[in-house]
Structure 1
Amino acid sequence: MDTRAAVLDDIDALTVLLDGYRQFYRQPSDPNAARHFLEQRFGLGDSFILVSEDDEGVIDGFVQLYPGLSTVGLNSRWTLNDLFVDESARGKGTGRALMKAAGQLAREHGVARLVLMTQVTNERAQRLYESLGWQRNTDFYSYLLDIE
């Protein structure tokens, strides 16, 4: 498998993966909205998207990072907001390769820290993160406010 930065020509494959990712989080399938969201990311350049390709060049996973800042740390902090691997590629090291590529990209950009959130019940993802040296944050609570 190979990991690389996503390009606009990847949008069809990314649309399918993003729609699958959203369904994993119990959102209704909406490929048109997923494509529009990706078009916005490419157009605004406000995220970094990395993809993995299998030996035949088929895109089978992605990771998306959003740049941010830490006032306390006085440095850059990126949010690893999305990691998704197609079912056919799971258990083959694809997620691990994408996570390592995300870390490498952050190092290349001088980012001090990556952060992520995952569902409490997503134990498979938690095992992956912890095996790569990610540490569970027990010092802060996470809060959400829906703005209508």
Structure 2
Amino acid sequence: MSQLDIRHASVADAARIAPLFDAYRQFYEQPADAAAALAFITARLERGESVILLASQDGAPVGFCQMYPSFCSVIAAPIYVLYDLFVAPAARKSGAGRALLRAAETHAREHGCKRMDLTTARNNATAQSLYESLGWVRDEVFYTYTRDLAA
């Protein structure tokens, strides 16, 4: 059985994460753009704007999750928004996604967060099943809205 390792990423890991991030974006129907993926990941890590956990098997990167620190006014506490979670298709069912989520929760607790939020596509039943198996609860009270400011 191969060894799965989860660790906090640094700027030095940006080139290892970028192909996974680009594949993640393509999963959500964005065009491939390796340069933009590298630039985005590098900037987040250089500026300390996100926490990225990197999953590797036998030294090869197989998945990542990216969390953004935020706050919840209602509970008057810090939270993390787990925005990105991706495991390469060849590594799915290896436990990497579950391990990344558990490591993210541990990190959030260690940093005083009272809650974590995430969203996923309505048709992503595989991810929903994973989240629910780990105790995440789908919100049935609030709607999420977005506004495209680029238009």
User: Residue deviations 1:30-55, cap 9 Å, x none?
Assistant: 0000001011101210100001110x
1:7 matched to 2:34 = no
Unaligned runs of 5+ in 1: none
Q: Secondary structure at 1:66's aligned position in 2? A: strand
Q: CA deviation at 1:9?
A: 2.1
* Identical positions, percent: 45
Q: Secondary structure at 1:40's aligned position in 2? A: helix
Compute the RMSD of aligned alpha carbons: 0.7
1:21 matched to 2:19 = no
Name the TM-score, length of structure 2 as normaliser: 0.95
Alignment of 1:123-134 (within 5 A): 123-134=125-136
User: Residue deviations 1:76-101, cap 9 Å, x none?
Assistant: 11100000001111011100000000
C-alpha distance in 2 between matches for 1:57 and 1:16: 15
Q: Secondary structure at 2:52's aligned position in 1? A: strand
Q: Residue in 1 aligned with 2:84?
A: 82
**Bigger shift: residues 37-46 or 121-130:** 37-46
1:49 matched to 2:49 = no
Moved over 6 A (4+): none
Q: Residue in 1 aligned with 2:64?
A: 62
C-alpha distance in 1 between matches for 2:14 and 2:69: 21
Name the TM-score, length of structure 1 as normaliser: 0.97
The aligned length equals: 147
